[in-house]
A = this chain, B = another copy of it.
Amino acid sequence: MLDQHVAVITLRDSGVRMTPQRLLVIEALAGNRSHPTVEQIFEYVRERYPTVSLATVYQSLALLSRHGLITELHGDRGTLRCDPDTSSHAHAYCRRCGLVMDVPLPPAATHTALDLDTFNPTQVEVSIYGVCAACAGQPSSPVEAEA
């Protein structure tokens, strides 16, 4: 899980400049378990530093990702989500409410990918789609049932 101090030191040691914008992006992610979208991170930073631009947030996230401090999730169709926890785990996406939750993976699952001798894997993303417990309890809306 991303730690603010570790992140700052890691970046500094790589010669990256620490700006208030970046610090706030890190702050938004540190300890965050909600897998926020870029827009959500942008909102967090903007509340504290109103002149920040969305482009800067995108650039900061790419920077953090490049330095291995966060993981970018592609499972939410067309929207980038960020995970400050870079350890091996899967993500469950609720198709009804949009919730993204962590799912532990048995250590063996990671090995599967590493068994490939024809491919040199650097990252594995496991996305599970379905309906979460809370939504499964609720009947689906009429609008949704139609589709």
Chain A residues with a Cβ under 8 A of chain B: 74-75, 77-78, 90, 92, 94-95, 101, 103, 105-106, 108-109, 112-113, 116, 118-133, 136
Copies in the complex: 2
Bound-state Cα–Cα, A17 to B122, Å? 44
Shortest A50–chain B CB gap in Å is 29
6 A-B residue pairs with Cβ-Cβ distance under 8 Å, sorted by A, are A74-B77, A109-B109, A116-B128, A119-B130, A123-B128, A126-B126
Residue of B at shortest CB range from A147? B66
Q: Are B130 and A127 in contact (CB under 8 A)?
A: no
Q: Are B112 and A121 in contact (CB under 8 A)?
A: no
Bound-state Cα–Cα, A101 to B125, Å? 15
